[in-house]
Structure 1
Amino acid sequence: MKTKTKKFGVILLGITMMLGALTQCKEKKEDNSLILAAILYLSQGRAPGVYISGVLVDENNEPMANKTVTIKGRNETPTVVRTGTAANRGYYKNVLSATPFETRYADGDSKISSQCGSAVFALYGATQAAILGDRQLICDTSTLPAEASTAGIAESLVAAGEVVAQFTTDSNGAFVSQKFVIPNTGNTYTVEVDGAARNRRLRVARSGTSSLLTQSDIILGNNTTPTEQVASKYAFSIFNLVVEVEYPRPIRTLEGTLASNVFIGANEQVILQGTVIVPNGVTLSIGEGAKVYGSVSPGGALLVKQGGKLEAIGTATNPVVFSSEKAVGQRQPGDWQGIILQGNGIQTFGSIGGTAIGEGDVGTFGGNNNADSSGTLRYVRIEFAGAPFSPGNERNCLSLMGVGSGTTIDYVQCHRGFDDGFEWWGGAVNHKYIVSTANRDDQLDFTDGYIGKVQYAIAHLDTAASSSNDDTSRCVEGDGNTSNSCSASARTGGNCADPWFANLTCVASNGNAVATSGTNIGNGWYVRRSDGTALVGSISHAAILGTVGPLNCTAPTRYGDIVASSAIGTCTGGTALGANSASDAVTLTNINVTAPDWTPTAGTITASGNLKTVGSAQMNQAFFDDTNYRGAINTGGTKWWDGWTSFPAN
């Protein structure tokens, strides 16, 4: 194992694309992706400071080549009122997110004072009614990290007229990573361009979003009146405006095989450089709020071998996050290779109780101990994983190979993986409260003797992600055995995967409308690869909405108490576990995969009986809660995914 420390430029100020905000602008003519690539390249090893990049254009969006740009202080704090509508009216904190001003507060003096601070309120006090009208107030309440302050970056006001940056654009009007001489954040600056009749203002937040201000913006801050507006258009704008705060921060890099126990502290940041192996007898422990980034090249992965343990324990408000090392906005499915746990549980590929070679060339797994422990994952989010190890040989978001029931994996989300979300090969690990969203292939996939129990699982298919895939995407896909045939349940020593699923919510992002063939969306529950008589899996108390059909069984299965948006049908050779219901009336609060809420709002999800009593007691398992509703959440139930899940597009 190698652990080393390197300096890592952390982008604190998000990228703001100015095209939508600029007034009286024509369509951009040029692709400036090379500018952004150059920014990323030049960010490596830079000195601490505030940097600005972009492309300077005139009022007709033509590049302004060889122009001198000067940025000066204004002795202003950047509290801004923007023009809005009655629907937008309110008070917003500047938060670091893809939608910077999404945290909204109601009208009122007390709200301004409590959310934006009494000092901000005092700056304009009596003018509030005249200023607001149908406007929205955005107050920058963020704070500068201590590491930035230590590096000499300040939040104090820059005096009016004091020059903080001066540079000249190139022949394409571009400028890249120009450093502020006085590296201050939390200010509003004047931007002057040689030869331009009028100046513009640049708002630099302490964290979150920086932007050029438009004609309709009003600045409320030190030395500024609330009537500072202009009526005519500006003589210049900046495309691809990027403002960054860079400061040294120690980020550990893990590489190779860990030689001893390793602890990643709460809120610490770590990079997995290539495949990091946790071998037999070694534990990798991860504290709440830690961010573990998989490198893109070589593809990062975390491989926990038999006898090794992963203890990743977050909280509902501060989860452990595994993600791509790329910047927010640039991440994609398959950026890194994901997490692989390999245990000593029973797998049935080739021989029952023997070992097998795991998908993704990760070495052997399996044995005779279905009670084996590979550790704990609780309140963990895994995203943008699943890079192919070789063509057609993908690693998944979370690969569970021979993982035993001594392992705890609850409150875990797999999001936007290149292949499957959760995939099980053998073993008997149980789960409650798992979420699989927008993975390109199946959300949940099992095979080779898996006999675990899963309750309260949410599988959300994204039609856009599925349409770009070359395979049919399903909520749950189950193979009795990857060798294409099995003859008896692994529950009783046979070679067929045969898990239990209770309270599954399966939904496609088209909602109750039945998916069309062009999206590669398949069925909600799809089982195959047995000898035609051996049963593969049990599913009860489920809600399946928006897929091409609830069930597709080329191997028989046990099913019942399913509510769906199309006819349930029958499964040849299968066993019913209670009455089913086909009802287009069942709807969920929000089926948009970028902001889902799976709480039912209409239709009945009441089951025909309690989980443990219907279906000849098939679901009477000690691990299960005895629910009387279908799906992962009851009408009016607690949104157990709130706080620790997230659904970014990139």
Structure 2
Amino acid sequence: MKIKTKQIGVFLLGFAMMLGGLTNCKEKKEDNSLLLAAILYLNQGRAPGVYISGILVDENNQPMANRTVTIKGRGETPSVVRTGDATNSGYYKNVLSNTPFSTRYTAGEAAIATQCGAITGTYGATYPLTTNRRVICDTSTLAEEAKNAGILDSLVGSGEVVAQFTTNAEGAFVSQKFTLPNTGNTYTVEVEGAARNRRLRVARSGTSSLLTQSDIILGTNATPNEEVSTKYSFSIFNLIVEVEYPRPTRTLEGTLTSNVVIGPNEQVILQGTVIVPNGVTLSIGEGAKVFGSVSPGGALLVKQGGKLEAIGTATNPVVFSSEKAVGQRQPGDWQGIILQGNGIQTFGGRGSSAIGEGDVGSFGGNNNADSSGTLRYVRIEFAGAPFSPGNERNCLSLMGVGSGTTVEYVQCHRGFDDGFEWWGGAVDHKYLVSTANRDDQLDFTDGYIGRVQYAIAHMDINAVSSNDDTSRCVEGDGSTSNSCASTGRTPTNGNCADPWFANLTCVASNGNAVATSGTNLGPGWFVRRSGTTIPVGSISHSVVVGTTAAVSCNTGAGQEAVTKFGDITTTLGSVACAGGTALGGNSASDAITLTNVNITAPDWTPTAGTIAATGNLKTVGGAEMNQAAFDDTNYRGAINTGGTKWWDGWTSFPAN
């Protein structure tokens, strides 16, 4: 093992691309890759400070070349009040987005006042939660390292110039530094020759946005003369504000030789594949950020007998992500997490060893109660890597992982291949979120017999269309060898994967609409590769919307499979699998709708349709779903109508 500490520039990067609806501009069609490449190049080796980049355009979306831009303080905090409806009224933290807002601050008016100050507007009015107002407030804190580097979060006086620069021939400006390195403010943006100014919001965390005429600032400004209905004469595309400062960052490399602890809120880089071998534990505290290097590709490989203890909280999760700056991250930036246990896998024979996908070495044994550690309140994003066709690393790979392992409240987001993938083992799960991964959201094979309850699988059409394979919410192979003799469950102890899934919510989306088709989009639940009458998996009390079918069993020669299914609500017609087993009543062709299926701000709470099950889960199909690991639910899907949004606070859905 190599553990070293070095000084590197780490920047918190926030961005907002202002859409035509907010700026009264047409859609921008130019390729801005050269500007973004220049920003990345200039990011290296800069002094600590606050930097701004973007492309200045007029109301016709044409570049405004060689224009002088001046940014001045307004003596205001970045708290904002926006008008809205009673349903969405309330306090929201550190967001500035379209309806509906996704991060609601529920602690109440007194608590929000400690973060935002008194909720009193510039017009002398008070905006309580009961009115049709949304209060958006920056509740982030400025890192101590940033303060030590001279970056402040104090107010900038009205009219005080913080930056002045001139755009180039393409209207672009790159990495212009604020002369006053202050965050947590709003600013006036003046453009030479423009009839009307705009306002810029910069949060302490570095997030940024241009404000519109519908925003009312809560601050010291007494003359909000920009609150008019006329359109702006300029806008900024690819608006980026960066807060850059030096930060001591540990780097892990190679094979760990003893137990390693990553403390709460610590930041660490995985340089290449970091291996946790037999007898060694890697412990990660709440709020820690673990970044996978891009070159060589970072990965975390926990071998048989090794343990990963990554335990966050609902408000401070452990995050695994790309080392790239926010706004530049992509699926496959780093290579994800691989857990390898001594559980039973069946490729090559029940209880034998197999070589894992992604060139990660052998796994598997005869102990389905084996433990590889704990992952709780963990987010994994922009991971995975292709090695060869059908040989990829995923967001979270679970190879022969036993039931002694705890994996719950875990999100896989925008992975290069699958979100969660199981090869054998018997690990149980609750509260999984798999979003916008390029291939399947959940994938199992080779004797996996675990139990999964309360899983959300959300496919993004734009993500799956870039994949070279059909994508499903859940894909199940009886065996990767295309045939198996019988179920891997006790007492048969065969070699077919045969897990239980309950309370699954499966969604395919494209923008704000539920999709019915799309490139490479497949059914919600799909099984194959067992034998004509060999069952692969059981699913009940679930919701499927927007895919090409609810349940599909492959009938192709050599890859036949059937499944067991019951109590599924779907928008997709009949729920059927020729030769399969119907476990209970199904609500086919139900007009089920969810609150928001936009992948950038999802809310999977049902708003219409039938999600009340025909019976409690453990009564379905006799004893089929009567599993000790399951709660005995009486509704379909991962969340009940009016139920707790159990994903709120620890999940995130960034595009890059």
TM over 0.5: yes
Q: Does 1:41 align with 2:62?
A: no
Matched position secondary structure for 1:429:
coil
Q: What displacement does 1:105 show? A: 9.1
Bigger drift between 167-176 and 32-41 goes to 167-176
Bigger drift between 196-205 and 153-162 goes to 196-205
Bigger drift between 506-515 and 597-606 goes to 506-515
Could you say which residue in structure 1 is the equivalent of 2:564? 558
1:255 to 239, 253, 257: 253
Could you say which residue in structure 2 is the equivalent of 1:485? 483
Matched position secondary structure for 2:412:
strand
Matched position secondary structure for 1:433:
strand
Conserved 8 A contact 1:97-1:208: no
Q: What displacement does 1:289 show? A: 1.7
**Distance in 2, Cα, partners of 1:478 & 1:540:** 15
Could you say which residue in structure 2 is the equivalent of 1:346? 344
**Distance in 2, Cα, partners of 1:515 & 1:226:** 43
Could you say which residue in structure 2 is the equivalent of 1:641? 647
**Distance in 2, Cα, partners of 1:36 & 1:314:** 33
Q: Does 1:530 align with 2:530?
A: yes
Instruction: Give the direction of change, closer, same or farther, for the CA distance of 1:399–1:45 in structure 2 (3 Å limit).
Output: same
Matched position secondary structure for 1:612:
helix
Q: What displacement does 1:9 show? A: 3.7
2:606 to 600, 606, 610: 600
Q: What displacement does 1:395 show? A: 1.1
Counterparts of 1:93-132 in structure 2, within 5 Å, are: 95=94, 102=101, 116-118=116-118, 121=120, 124=122, 126=124
Could you say which residue in structure 2 is the equivalent of 1:457? 455
Could you say which residue in structure 2 is the equivalent of 1:501? 501
Conserved 8 A contact 1:70-1:166: yes
Conserved 8 A contact 2:91-2:112: no
Bigger drift between 506-515 and 362-371 goes to 506-515
Q: What displacement does 1:510 show? A: 7.1
Q: Does 1:326 align with 2:324?
A: yes
Bigger drift between 211-220 and 616-625 goes to 211-220
Q: What displacement does 1:43 show? A: 1.5
Bigger drift between 490-499 and 595-604 goes to 595-604
Could you say which residue in structure 2 is the equivalent of 1:280? 278
Could you say which residue in structure 1 is the equivalent of 2:377? 379
Conserved 8 A contact 2:206-2:242: no
Bigger drift between 180-189 and 337-346 goes to 180-189
Q: What displacement does 1:94 show? A: 6.6
Q: What displacement does 1:239 show? A: 4.8
**Distance in 2, Cα, partners of 1:402 & 1:69:** 59
Conserved 8 A contact 1:273-1:295: yes
Instruction: Give the direction of change, closer, same or farther, for the CA distance of 1:81–1:426 in structure 2 (3 Å limit).
Output: closer
Matched position secondary structure for 2:308:
strand
Q: What displacement does 1:280 show? A: 1.1
Q: What displacement does 1:219 show? A: 6.9
The one-letter code sitting in structure 2 at the alignment partner of 1:585 is A
Conserved 8 A contact 2:92-2:134: no
Could you say which residue in structure 1 is the equivalent of 2:556? none
**Distance in 2, Cα, partners of 1:508 & 1:335:** 24
Conserved 8 A contact 1:63-1:172: yes
Could you say which residue in structure 2 is the equivalent of 1:76? 75
The one-letter code sitting in structure 1 at the alignment partner of 2:406 is T
The one-letter code sitting in structure 2 at the alignment partner of 1:404 is G
Instruction: Give the direction of change, closer, same or farther, for the CA distance of 1:570–1:288 in structure 2 (3 Å limit).
Output: same
Instruction: Give the direction of change, closer, same or farther, for the CA distance of 1:511–1:260 in structure 2 (3 Å limit).
Output: same
Conserved 8 A contact 1:515-1:521: no
Matched position secondary structure for 1:412:
strand
Q: Normalising by structure 1, what TM-score?
A: 0.85
Matched position secondary structure for 1:149:
helix
**Distance in 1, Cα, partners of 2:174 & 2:9:** 16
- Where structure 1 has 5 or more consecutive residues not aligned to the other structure, the ranges are none
**Distance in 2, Cα, partners of 1:84 & 1:393:** 50
Q: What displacement does 1:273 show? A: 2.1
Conserved 8 A contact 1:13-1:210: no
Could you say which residue in structure 1 is the equivalent of 2:629? 623
**Root-mean-square deviation (Å):** 4.0
**Distance in 2, Cα, partners of 1:565 & 1:537:** 22
Q: What displacement does 1:509 show? A: 2.7
Conserved 8 A contact 1:377-1:410: yes
Bigger drift between 241-250 and 223-232 goes to 223-232
Q: What displacement does 1:383 show? A: 1.9
**Distance in 1, Cα, partners of 2:14 & 2:137:** 16
Matched position secondary structure for 1:354:
coil
Q: What displacement does 1:323 show? A: 2.0
Could you say which residue in structure 2 is the equivalent of 1:396? 394
The one-letter code sitting in structure 2 at the alignment partner of 1:457 is A
Q: Does 1:613 align with 2:619?
A: yes
**Distance in 2, Cα, partners of 1:404 & 1:105:** 38
Q: Normalising by structure 2, what TM-score?
A: 0.84
Instruction: Give the direction of change, closer, same or farther, for the CA distance of 1:124–1:351 in structure 2 (3 Å limit).
Output: closer
Q: What displacement does 1:250 show? A: 1.9
Instruction: Give the direction of change, closer, same or farther, for the CA distance of 1:113–1:124 in structure 2 (3 Å limit).
Output: farther
Q: What displacement does 1:30 show? A: 5.1
Q: What displacement does 1:85 show? A: 7.7
**Distance in 2, Cα, partners of 1:511 & 1:30:** 22
Encode CA deviations 1:75-102: one digit per residue, 9 max, x unaligned.
7235687896889997876715766994
Could you say which residue in structure 2 is the equivalent of 1:580? 586
Q: What displacement does 1:364 show? A: 0.6
Conserved 8 A contact 1:439-1:461: yes
Bigger drift between 293-302 and 84-93 goes to 84-93
The structure having more radius of gyration, on CA atoms, is: 1
Instruction: Give the direction of change, closer, same or farther, for the CA distance of 1:636–1:183 in structure 2 (3 Å limit).
Output: closer
**Distance in 2, Cα, partners of 1:154 & 1:543:** 48
The one-letter code sitting in structure 2 at the alignment partner of 1:605 is I
The one-letter code sitting in structure 1 at the alignment partner of 2:412 is C
Instruction: Give the direction of change, closer, same or farther, for the CA distance of 1:205–1:625 in structure 2 (3 Å limit).
Output: closer
Counterparts of 1:425-440 in structure 2, within 5 Å, are: 425-440=423-438
Conserved 8 A contact 1:283-1:308: yes
The one-letter code sitting in structure 2 at the alignment partner of 1:76 is G
**Distance in 2, Cα, partners of 1:424 & 1:105:** 36
Encode CA deviations 1:178-205: one digit per residue, 9 max, x unaligned.
3333323345556677888998765544
Q: What displacement does 1:557 show? A: 2.6
**Percent pairwise identity:** 77
Matched position secondary structure for 1:148:
helix
Counterparts of 1:348-363 in structure 2, within 5 Å, are: 348-363=346-361
The one-letter code sitting in structure 2 at the alignment partner of 1:46 is R
Instruction: Give the direction of change, closer, same or farther, for the CA distance of 1:273–1:519 in structure 2 (3 Å limit).
Output: same
Q: What displacement does 1:177 show? A: 2.2
Matched position secondary structure for 1:543:
strand
Could you say which residue in structure 2 is the equivalent of 1:423? 421
Conserved 8 A contact 1:514-1:565: no
**Distance in 1, Cα, partners of 2:22 & 2:223:** 23
- Where structure 2 has 5 or more consecutive residues not aligned to the other structure, the ranges are 554-559
Bigger drift between 548-557 and 82-91 goes to 82-91
Matched position secondary structure for 1:464:
helix
Encode CA deviations 1:374-419: one digit per residue, 9 max, x unaligned.
1111111222222213454211111111111111111212222222
The one-letter code sitting in structure 2 at the alignment partner of 1:383 is E
Conserved 8 A contact 1:383-1:416: yes
